[in-house]
Amino acid sequence: MIAGVDYPVERIVLLTGAGVSAESGLSTFRDSGGLWENHDPMEIATPEAFARDPALVYRFYNARRNQLQQVAPNAAHCDIARLQAEFPGEVFLVTQNVDDLHERGGSPQVCHMHGELQRMLCLACRESFTARQDYDSSSRCPGCRAPGALRPDIVWFGEIPYQMDTIESQLRNCDLFIAVGTSGVVYPAAGFVRQARAAGAMTIEINREASEVSSFFQQQRCGCATSEVRSLVEELLAD
């Protein structure tokens, strides 16, 4: 039984952010030394930035895609996958992360609300496809063969995240909401804690430090994702 939860938990929504992959060696966005310290997000992560300087945007995402080969899932990814496999109720995992470490950690279901580094989207035929190589303005769509129409399948600022209907329905029906390693700065994900509370769910935050939305959580567990996720998963599976 987890402290503060006096009912049997049946449906969990677990939200992750860049902090869950930090101990694998991937930079977060807003911590000191984070990705947005060296790059202005408005020069990289918007449709306007891509239109203005596609070469810069391709380079940024090619480098991040290649970096995935040098990192491995950490204990937090693996423990989340274990919770999904062994919890007798439902665990819906929604991540803001565009890496593939949840999948490589064994998660059977991952909702990538901000897209995926290893997918590209063709603006000519609107198909999204698995992408493992480098891309530039001359790359052709493997489906429709159109040249110069590919963009990273990443949700940029000003765009609507993927699968919002599914996520909102999961939030309306969950009885426990857990957020791990996210700063609570970027919406709509930053608003999920309030949606879950409105639905009557218990809410727990795991973070190394207070986030922008910490005060909306009923319970804060301060520490690294690897150790705090392990304890929480053990408590949930012991019930």
Angle formed at CA 107 by CA 102 and CA 110, multiple of 5 degrees: 70
- Residue 73: asked if its preceding bond is cis (omega within 30°), the reply is no
* Spatial contact of 193 and 216, defined as CB atoms under 8 Å apart: yes
- State which of residues 40, 48, 136, 209 lies at the interface with ligand OAD (CB under 6 A): 209
Least distance in angstroms from the C-beta of 109 to ligand OAD: 19
Determine the 3-state secondary structure of 169 from DSSP.
Answer: helix
Please, which residue, 18 or 81, has the CB nearer to ligand OAD?
A: 18
Contact call for residue 96 and ligand OAD (CB under 6 A): yes
Least distance in angstroms from the C-beta of 7 to ligand OAD: 27
d(CA 185, CA 198): 20
114 catalytic, yes or no? yes
- State which of residues 150, 204, 224, 232 lies at the interface with ligand OAD (CB under 6 A): 224
Beta-carbon contacts of residue 153 (< 8 Å; ≥ 6 apart): 115, 116, 119, 120, 121, 128, 131
Binding to ligand OAD by CB under 6 A, coded x per residue (else -) over 44-83, reads -x--------------------------------------
Paired strand residues for 155: none
Contact call for residue 43 and ligand OAD (CB under 6 A): no
How many Å separate Cα 55 from the centre of its chain?
A: 25
Least distance in angstroms from the C-beta of 23 to ligand OAD: 5
Residues of this chain that interact with ligand OAD (CB under 6 A) are 17-19, 22-23, 28-31, 34, 41, 45, 96, 114, 155-156, 181-183, 185-186, 207-209, 211, 224-225
